[in-house]
Structure 1
Amino acid sequence: MNKLPDLEAWAIFAAVAEQRSFSGAAATLGLSKATVSKAVARLEARLGQSLFHRTSRRLSVTEAALPLAERARAMLAEAEGAEEAARDGAASPAGRIRVAAPMSFGLAAVAPVLAGFLDEYRQVEIDLNLSDSRTDIIAGGFDLALRIGEPPDSSLRIRRLCAVPFHIVASPLYLARHGRPVHAAELARHRLLGYSNAPGPWRLYGPDDEAVMVRPVGPLLANSGDALVPALMAGLGIARLPNFIVGLHLESKALEAILPDWTPPPASLHLLTPPGTLRPARVEALIAWLARHLRD
């Protein structure tokens, strides 16, 4: 008869892979380093392969073990969710949640929402990672991620939360110097500031379903939308930016939305979680909170 899976060893392997350290995993799990080392050795013997490259200064997952690390994290998350589901909410949600979000959106919208959540759920801790790069939430050990744009084609669980409107904006100074375009095709003759995380031409839709594509060519290309705002204020160009970056500047009249009859298609805000049907109660609580408070 086949042996049952060594679930303890798989859980410890997942922790070591995440921490990139036997000592770090031991501290996280509340175990001795010897216990962690023996569990990994036990799993390696059972699988017949090395799971880590070990040097005096560095520990890294072997290429063959990378997919195993992802599955181990998924198994651990599923087990945690099963235990919390079994408790049936007898205790308040508690524990640590790792969250990934875009930098500008995270500062403008996510951080204020998390403050209210942490005030409501005093036993929960949140580790918030803000980056405009495409974070691998499985490899990074994240419980959930927020992303703007097309969701990845993957095994991740994906939930659309809301639309994210974009505006074509310029400063009054720029418009006074270079004129105000009245048709989207005229943008090709203007200085356009680009966002490198969303490369490619701008697509705009106008009256009678007319569509125009314009490739931004200008003095500044940045991987942060916020980095384009000073150049906009200085009258150096026109930009296509989301409302969460330029909304307050539009209200103060420091920037103006131009081409009112031409609209860029809105992006969508998606919430991504690792595969699996069960999630810890703390993660379910945060998902519900984000869905409720980020709709606007």
Structure 2
Amino acid sequence: MSKLPDFEAWAVFAKVAETGAFARAASELDLSKATVSKAVSRLEARMGASLFHRTSRRLSLTESGRAALERASRILSEGEAVEMETAAQSAIPRGRVRLAAPMSFGLLHLAPILPDFLARYPEVSVDLNLADEKIDLVAEGYDLAIRIARLADSSLLARRICEMRIMLVGAPGYFEAYGRPAHPRDLAHHRAFTYSNVESPETWRFSHATEGDETVTVSGQMRVNNSEALGAALRAGLGVALQPEFICWRDVLDGRLEAAMCDWSPPRPALHLVSPPGRLRPARVRVLFDFLVERLAAAAWTTNA
């Protein structure tokens, strides 16, 4: 006998005993009569005993069948119950969603909108992890993640929300003191703050519509692993930096920082919402996914062109 019981066959046996006929059991289980008969025969072979007395007019339980029926009925009812509960949980937004996002983006733009989601879905809770390191959704059990990158091919499901513009910014006072760069090669003579969570922090790449691509090596006093940490030094007029628009847009709008070399574009990542493989998402995950797409795509800093 194999170690794993034949749960399906025991459930079929219980349904046959409940309905009193192979044909009726097959109809209720949406199986063929032959499949039902084979399931019962499979059990009888495993047990080495008959479970039913069969005649042309009547079906009745044997002594072995009566002894097994109570437990087999529990298998059937428990299976039906777990399917009903799981289906209900999948249909109604309820339970915990594990969500991962980059630190600055999560603090600036995700945390402020989550209260609206929680108010809209009071039976859903959110377990939010903020980190700039890339998280393995499948291995670490996350339902969703926000990624700001050019995504490599993978088995993850991804929804592109918007393009992210990267801007070369500095304070008005900095540009007055050191000049405004017009070409990437000018940056070799500027004080540049860099972001360390990339392969080559001091190597900046730009593209121009007519002049093509240009790469320049920069240097400066400060390197960080979180771009938001550069805000104070930039506003103080101590250097320039490549900043995601979602971090610096308010400073640019209010005049504390200015964009330079706007006709030269660094590589643009996109904001994606990713989830593990599998097309079916529980309702709690589906509603958060749709909420984030709706709210983030309409944010003031997004670039959808």
Common fold, TM-score beyond 0.5? Answer: yes
How far apart in 2 are the matches of 1:127 and 1:223?
A: 23
Checking the alignment, whether the CA contact within 8 Å between 2:95 and 2:125 is kept in structure 1 is yes
CA-CA distance at 1:207 after TM superposition: 4.0
Q: Which residue of 2 aligns with 1:114?
A: 114
Q: Which residue of 2 aligns with 1:250?
A: 252
Percent identity between matched residues is 45
Letter matched to residue 252 of structure 2: L
Letter matched to residue 115 of structure 1: P
Distance verdict in 2 for CA 1:124–1:88, change over 3 Å: closer
Checking the alignment, whether the CA contact within 8 Å between 1:156 and 1:273 is kept in structure 2 is yes
Checking the alignment, whether the CA contact within 8 Å between 1:85 and 1:280 is kept in structure 2 is no
Q: Give aligned pairs, total.
A: 221
CA-CA distance at 1:215 after TM superposition: 2.7
TM-score scaled by structure 2? 0.67
Q: Which residue of 2 aligns with 1:237?
A: 239
Alignment partner of 1:178 is 2:178: yes
Q: Which residue of 2 aligns with 1:87?
A: 88
Q: CA RMSD in A?
A: 2.4
Alignment partner of 1:266 is 2:291: no
TM-score scaled by structure 1? 0.68
Deviations 1:26-62 (A, max 9, x none): xxxxxxxxxxxxxxxxxxxxxxxxxxxxxxxxxxxxx
Distance verdict in 2 for CA 1:6–1:271, change over 3 Å: farther
Matches within 5 A, 1:1-296: 86-87=87-88, 92-200=92-200, 201-296=203-298
Q: Which residue of 2 aligns with 1:79?
A: none
Deviation beyond 4 Å, 4+ runs, structure 1: 1-7, 82-85
- Over alpha carbons, which structure has the higher Rg? 2
Letter matched to residue 215 of structure 1: T
- Structure 2: stretches of 5+ with no match in the other structure: 8-82, 299-305
How far apart in 2 are the matches of 1:260 and 1:158?
A: 30
Distance verdict in 2 for CA 1:120–1:178, change over 3 Å: same
How far apart in 1 are the matches of 2:6 and 2:237?
A: 63
CA-CA distance at 1:209 after TM superposition: 4.6
Distance verdict in 2 for CA 1:84–1:242, change over 3 Å: farther
Checking the alignment, whether the CA contact within 8 Å between 2:90 and 2:284 is kept in structure 1 is no
- Structure 1: stretches of 5+ with no match in the other structure: 8-81
